[in-house]
Amino acid sequence: AKAVERLRGKATYSSLPAFLLPAEFTMNELHRIYEQTIGAKLDKASFRHKILEQGKIEPVPERFRVGAHRPAQLYRLASRALTPFERKI
């Protein structure tokens, strides 16, 4: 219970949940892992804006995940070090 509490707390102000994903991930996957970790729904547009503003992830050039809809850009962590955000998610 303590570990989950700490993970939820750190998820609101750090890149920690991204380390639970593979090396390359979509923005939708990142959004879902943050929601699952924090335990609350997050507005997709606001989340995307805040995450990209932090500069903690970067698009993988010319890499997309193809599915039933439009291809999704793949991203990766800009640094493999756990980093705090300038403001909470």
Query: Which pLDDT score, from 0 to 100, does residue 42 have?
Result: 95
DSSP, res 19: G
Closest CA to 50 of 73, 27, 71, 29: 27
pLDDT in tens, the chain (89 residues): 898 888 888 888 888 899 899 999 999 999 999 999 999 999 999 999 999 998 889 999 988 777 777 889 999 998 877 777 776 76
Query: Which pLDDT score, from 0 to 100, does residue 23 have?
Result: 93
Query: Which pLDDT score, from 0 to 100, does residue 65 have?
Result: 78
Answering whether pTM is above 0.85, one says no
